[in-house]
Amino acid sequence: MTENVLITIACGTDNPNRATRGLFLAAAAQKKGKTVTVFLLDEGVYLARKGAVEPLKAATGDSADDSLAHLQAHDVPILVCTPCAKSRFIEQKDLADSCRMATAGELIDLACNAACINL
């Protein structure tokens, strides 16, 4: 069984429940000792903007901000699809701590070596 977990999130502030759930699952995997990477694409890139997740909550009451803070505190990489971000006028300087631009090639490499959860 792999110890690497890749969570891809393609929804953003337009779907607070799914977006929050993705960050929550990433934090849960990290708490279980897994090596976690989050990859944001499509509308999910909006989650990487500074302060964007603060108001987001899942129907269960879980807070996206709490999960993101946990991931940041544990140095979980949060990768942001470069072309997805650029097409939405998001630049590296707009991103929250621990978030960085990444390529499709990086996503493929990660996916080939991890259990994947797609939201």
Q: Convert the pLDDT of each residue in 63-108 to its tens digit.
A: 999 999 999 999 999 999 999 999 999 999 999 988 999 999 999 9
If DSSP codes are grouped into helix, strand and coil, which group holds residue 69? helix
Closest to 6 in 3D by CA, of 119, 101, 117: 117
Q: Is the pTM of this model over 0.85?
A: yes
Which residue is associated with the tokens 């803070």?
69
Supply the pLDDT for residue 1.
57
Q: Which CATH class is domain 4-118?
A: alpha beta
Closest to 19 in 3D by CA, of 6, 1, 36, 38: 38
